[in-house]
Structure 1
């Protein structure tokens, strides 16, 4: 059970009810993390959804977006977001084996994806300090300057929900991650 008790989704009014309705139309449910954020800070939830919409309309592939969100969630210890983005990453066509490798820090068999994983791990673990060598490596892997901005945005979005879920200990409402092989 989550630490912060929120009213039932059905009782929401105003901006919160509108956000919940849009989320439910888009994904068929209102995930617990969005329900809690929306009940407490509807403008914050709106901002996160807007930022996610901007990211979705960018040039970074959906697979790359989900790999970033899965990896950052793993690195920050957010079991809620890790579970959610494992499922969402599978829905983009990534295999369980690839996703388990992302989580374990093992090569995925895709050099460009592995360069992205190394770069994102560096950003998260070093608070964003990037050497010339690391910058050259991500560019050599084929990521554009625009995509570097999008990678930064993806990390920022997921860090917010990771932090909130650690505060709230949000109850997971997604299927469990399969045991590692």
Structure 2
């Protein structure tokens, strides 16, 4: 597939330029995948609202969801980005590999989360009922389950955008597993 060009700040609308400026101020750069959203007048702003929305999930839990969904969807860009972010959240390289494999030995609650999320992603929302029950038994509630699905949707959007655009990955590559 031919890569879609990553627009520069000068090539996007005034509204998207402001978002580029905010991203640069907050994280030091505009990741290529975010920049490609700016081909649309509204997509970048819409996506940033979704990805930054309040959630009952702790940052580490959100990264578990991001990693396993990206693994299921085979998104090299998001695996690279979320491996870097997961390290900033305190996960080790070995823990990140466990998360991506969908089998966590270092935290039983996160194990229930990764397993139900993997089932949700693989089965288009029709998760294994036993895994949903294990998720609740681990201490999550109905609101947590809804929040997991929102993050699954968020990550699926970025996974699909990368699959369609093949933008250059501007994070260190995630190790193969």
Shorter chain as normaliser: what TM range? over 0.9
Q: Distance in 1 between matches of 2:129 and 2:173?
A: 39
| Runs of 4+ displaced beyond 3 Å | 10-13
1:110 is matched with which residue? 107
1:17 is matched with which residue? 17
Q: Is the contact made by 1:72 and 1:158 (CA closer than 8 Å) also made in structure 2? A: yes
3-state DSSP of counterpart to 1:42: coil
Q: Distance in 1 between matches of 2:176 and 2:129?
A: 38
Q: Distance in 2 between matches of 1:179 and 1:123?
A: 23
Q: Distance in 1 between matches of 2:27 and 2:2?
A: 21
Deviation at 1:176, TM superposition (A): 2.3
* 1:166 counterpart (159, 163, 172): 163
2:143 is matched with which residue? 146
1:74 is matched with which residue? 71
Equivalent residue pairs, number = 177
What RMSD in Å do the two structures reach over aligned CA positions?
1.8
2:117 is matched with which residue? 120
TM-score by length of 2: 0.92
1:48 is matched with which residue? 47
Q: How does 1:81-92 map to 2 (within 5 A)?
A: 81-92=78-89
Q: Distance in 2 between matches of 1:61 and 1:94?
A: 13
Where structure 2 has 5 or more consecutive residues not aligned to the other structure, the ranges are none
Inter-CA distance 78–32: structure 2 relative to 1 (3 Å threshold)? same
Deviation at 1:58, TM superposition (A): 2.1
Where structure 1 has 5 or more consecutive residues not aligned to the other structure, the ranges are none
